[in-house]
Structure 1
Amino acid sequence: MFNGRWVGITQNLSDTLRGAVSQALENVNETIEYDILAQNHETSVLTLGADETHIGLIEGQAANPTEARKVTRLEQIANAEFYMLRFASDAGVLLAVRKTNATWKTRRSCNALRAVFQDEELDIDTRPAFSIEPFLDFFVFDGDVFVSNKTRFESVLDYRAGHTEAFHDLVNQSEFSDIFSEVTTIAEFVGTNKIQLRRAIAIREKGHFRDPNFMQKLRTHCAEMGLNIDFDDEGRIVPKPESCRDIFQALLDHRLDSRLSQRLYDVQSTEQVG
């Protein structure tokens, strides 16, 4: 799945990257448990166990920088999907990962004309160059992953492919499919949309559809909750393209009734407080 190589860097670049990573870690003042629908902000990270990801495959290669894996030619580093910084200290090993930008793509770099300013004039610089940004997408330390950019993290570790497979398994589970008159409309609604895939997996994790009491309350209170959901004579949900969003809101339990404002709200995620 991963074919990693290592490359030597100058002391100047090493010091700069170390400073960038240190600053990024200092900016974190909150950790949030990783959830399929959870989102972080500028000063928080999502956390999950490293054993829940494929990071071990990357970490294993980084821990064994053999001469055969050293970058000696440009084509060995061009088109890399991501780069990883490895810092070893007495406290342990910290990995910092960033998905590469367009400057690492051969096609894009070949079409660009790079110029430098020196001796009071511009000149063409034909040396290969890569942009290394001082922003990291996720960190790994002591068996945990700390995610600062969820989308890039999922892209690097192929989490979205895992979501697709998990959704396919879900629609083939009788516990789930039996609450519908048919599941083709649901499958078409989700498709490959990363947001809907996340919501579908969250539905699986919450498991409200497995609770007969929850499903009966949905049938009873559907109309007063303002949910556009139809049921057949057997009490199964009849999915339609225009009702799938409300179906997902209901199965996620994301249509909430405020006792304070006496209004209904759709929410992105829920955290039980009592």
Structure 2
Amino acid sequence: MTDSVKLTMQTLRATDFKHWLATFWLVKRKLSQQQARYSVLKVDTDTSLEQKLKQAVTSKILDTDYQLQAYDFLTADQDKGLLTIDSAATDVTLIQAEIDKGTANQKVEQYQDLLDSWAMVIKLEHQEQAVYAYRKINKFNHSTRLSHISFIQFKDKELKDLDEQAIFTLDTQIDFFSYQGTTFISNKREFESALNFRAGMEQNRDVVLQEFVDLNIFSDATLLKQHIGANLNYLRKVSSIQKSGYYKDAKFMEELVKVNSEKNWGLQVENGVIVINEASIELVLTLLNNGRLESPINHEVFDASVKKKVS
């Protein structure tokens, strides 16, 4: 994580949001061949709700218990951590471009317009500055699911049926927000779900597996691709492998083969090329992630899916 990202957050936390305007947007998403297309609807709100939405965003920003950490595909439990990623590496830039069209966007005119939305965005803006805060839409706002739900209110000592009213549930927990080219993530799972990160990781899988073959690391990566498939855990691992890029370092690969032989780790290597089999796939993913680590204290050896480099 760069110093500029830290400075961005410091600036944001020092901001007085009193005169910032809050607007509310719904995001519709369509998938075509794993590519997402987004459109947005402007939703008018009363003063009370506008203040509640604004408070939801500013309370997340101003909570100094949240510590910054660079986003990685393999990340430990966040527990009051804000993961940071360049917005240009995500779909938020596409969504924000739609929101920034302003009055050119359609407004919500009837209840049905609210349903089947993918996400909601609260935009705070003042002069040339803007914060975009995102939340994945609650499942009770999808039309097919609403048909099986009854909304009940307890009033005057009895339960009353609200089915005849236009109910829209709103969860103002913020999954992530973007400001000045950086996205700050408080809920990694919902962030990845809302922005279709699985498709990006599947692309990473295909790229890195082809590079394995081109670099003559494996004679054939077909079995590895079949094993990884669309499994999110394996997609994270292979995306992390691509990001770290150890496999592109010839010396690293030479040392991997050498240590594998010395430590009897079980990789089958023929003429410097790793031979993939069912039993070795997990080991391959671990070693290419540089995830087999030895304690300098008692020399125990661990496979670590999540690790943090000590500077």
Compute the TM-score of the two structures, normalised by the length of structure 2.
0.81
Structure 1 unmatched runs, 5+: none
Query: Which residue of 2 is the match for residue 110 of structure 1?
Result: 147
Q: Do residues 97 (structure 1) and 128 (structure 2) align?
A: no
* Higher strand proportion: 2
Name the CA shift for 1:174/1:191 in 2 (closer, same or farther; >3 Å).
Answer: closer
Q: Within 1, Cα distance between the matches of 2:147 and 2:189?
A: 28
Code of the residue aligned with 2:254 in structure 1: it is: Q
Deviation of 1:77 after TM superposition, in Å, equals: 1.8
Say whether 1:140 aligns with 2:169: no
Q: Against the structure 1 CA distance between its residues 87 and 118, is the aligned structure 2 distance closer, same or farther, given a 3 Å change threshold?
A: same
CA gap 1:224/1:13 in 2 versus in 1, 3 angstroms: farther
Superposition map of 1:5-154 within 5 A: 5-27=41-63, 28-39=65-76, 41-66=78-103, 69-89=106-126, 92-125=129-162, 126-154=164-192
Contact 1:231 1:238 in 2 (8 A): yes
**Per-residue deviation, 1:186:** 0.6
**Which residue type is aligned with residue 142 of structure 1?**
Q
**Paired letter, 2:190:** R
Q: Tell me: CA distance 1:249–1:176, structure 2 relative to 1, closer, same or farther (3 Å).
A: farther
Q: Hey, what's the Cα distance between the residues in 2 that align with 1:26 and 1:226? A: 51
Q: 1:35 to 1:12 in 2, by over 3 A?
A: same
SS in 2 for 1:58: helix
2:197 equivalent in structure 1: 159
2:253 matches 1:215: yes
Are 1:4 and 2:64 an aligned pair?
no
Decide whether aligned partners of structure 1 residues 225 and 105 sit closer, same or farther in structure 2, where only a CA change above 3 A counts: farther
Q: Secondary structure at the match of 2:39?
A: coil
The counterpart of 2:244, out of the listed 206, 215, 236, is: 206
CA contact (8 A) 1:40 1:148 kept: no
In structure 2, runs of 5+ residues without a counterpart are 1-36
Q: 1:68/1:135 Cα in 2 relative to 1: closer, same or farther (>3 Å)? A: closer
Give the 3 Å change call, closer, same or farther, for CA 242–64 of structure 1 in structure 2: same
Residue 254 of structure 1 aligns with an amino acid whose one-letter code is G
CA displacement at 1:122 relative to structure 2:
1.7
Please report how far the alpha carbon of residue 144 of structure 1 lies from its aligned counterpart in structure 2 after TM superposition.
1.0
- Asked whether the 8 Å contact 1:37–1:268 carries over to 2, the reply is yes
How many pairs were matched up?
A: 273
CA distance in 2, matches of 1:178, 1:61: 44
- The code of the aligned residue for 2:266 comes to N
